Amino acid sequence: MPFMPLTVISALLHGYIGWRLVPNLGAPWSWALIAVLVLSALLMPMGLLARRIRNRSLSDALTWAGLIFMGLFSSLLVLTLGRDVVLLGASLVMESTDNLVLWTAQAVPVVAGIVTLWGFVNARRRAAIVTVDVPIRGLPAALQGFTIAQISDIHVGPTIKGPYLQAIVDAVNGIDADMVAVTGDLVDGSVAELGAHVAPLADLRSRHGTFFVTGNHEYYSGAHAWIRELRRLGLTVLMNEHAVLEHGAASLVVAGVADYSAHHFDPTHRSDPQTAMAGAPAHALVRLLLAHQPRSAEAAERAGFQLQLSGHTHGGQFFPWNLFVPLQQPFTAGLHKLKDLWVYTSRGTGYWGPPKRFGAPSEITRLRLVPAGS
């Protein structure tokens, strides 16, 4: 969207917040809020369009400022709308709402600021390692305790660079996993822009290697070039295909599909779990699918997979977006069962857009296969 329409929409929404809060704040707080709203209204659209600026330092600075203010604006808008609902309800049952009007006007910017700061710290810290046991019926003894390190939705781009990714790689290597799964949305930008920042992935270590599937953001960023680059770094990119891992006396099929929406960008990349399973050996009793979006699950279950690893949702990242995820995806976060298929949906290892996570912490997932009933 061009700069001017974005600026007008931004100004109108910020004007609503100011209209509802500023008259109820005394000086100097009213002036402080006005200054914040004016800066936010200007910097948000500039931050979204900053990648068009050739000067990289200026572009990055505007992006950082715009996205931080976007996170603050989101909380201000939601809290202001919530306040108006509360005041409307209170006016129906209370003789006077004067005190409520005053203290809620003060509370909204304070709470929004605290949530944004807390969310910033959560987003910028290295993701915590989360351990999940997945019970598999008929799991061969050789695969009991088989460990998968999953990372997803890192979104290397304007505010996430090489050092952030290197910290993730170091943590994954500390897990000493049998395999590493990268379930899409690794990047927000081209290979030319971000190749050096993605290079730490070459350092990932596990017994059977690192497997990657595309997410929707790879297709916004030049999927074909990224597939070539990731293969050059030593990752196995699975495009509706599988690999067979020989682990002791047992075999495991690890398959991967292109993103659920990939066919909109390249018809030859249509996501197809059935094709990904085709030709898998019958003696491989454990069948794992990597699929960026949880909504691949129905097709994965029909294809005979026992476990699907996904991401995409970010667990909602921060309120209220977690409320909208179920409108598009069957699962928001965590381990769920669909008939005979387990689906694990990662909350993501990075973040997208505002550097803000609130109520949906990032994760590096350590998944361990265990016998069902143990």
Total tally of structural domains belonging to the chain = 2
Cβ atoms of 334 and 294 closer than 8 Å: no
DSSP symbol at 120: H
Classify residue 23 as exposed, middle or buried by CB count within 10 Å of its CB (0-12, 13-18, 19+): exposed
- Are 157 and 119 part of one and the same domain? no
Domain residues for the domain of 285 are 128-371
Residue 233: predicted pLDDT: 98
Is it the case that residue 42 has pLDDT exceeding 70? yes
At 160 the three-state DSSP class reads coil
Confidence (pTM)? 0.92
| Segment 236-260, tens digit of pLDDT | 999 999 999 999 999 999 999 999 9
- Are 15 and 155 part of one and the same domain? no
Domain with residue 334: its CATH number is 3.60.21.10
| Segment 172-202, tens digit of pLDDT | 999 999 999 999 999 999 999 999 999 999 9
| Segment 63-103, tens digit of pLDDT | 999 999 999 999 999 999 999 999 999 999 888 888 999 99
- Are 110 and 134 part of one and the same domain? no
Which distant-in-sequence residues (6+ apart) come within 8 Å of 32 by Cβ?
none
- Are 82 and 155 part of one and the same domain? no
The encoded tokens of residue 276 equal 């990904």
Given 102, 124, 146, which residue is the final one in a domain?
124
Cβ atoms of 233 and 199 closer than 8 Å: yes
Least confident of 249-263, 317-331, 356-370: 317-331
Which residue matches tokens 């997945």? 134
- Are 259 and 167 part of one and the same domain? yes
- Are 363 and 308 part of one and the same domain? yes
- Are 45 and 157 part of one and the same domain? no
Task: Determine the Cα–Cα distance for residues 264 and 218; give it in Å rounded to an integer.
Answer: 13
Given 79, 103, 124, which residue is the final one in a domain?
124
| Segment 3-35, tens digit of pLDDT | 677 778 889 999 999 999 999 998 899 999 999
Given 81, 103, 124, which residue is the final one in a domain?
124
What pairs with residue 308 in β-bridges? Answer: 289, 343
Alpha-helical (H) ranges within the chain are 3-21, 29-49, 56-93, 98-124, 162-175, 191-198, 216-220, 223-232, 273-277, 297-303
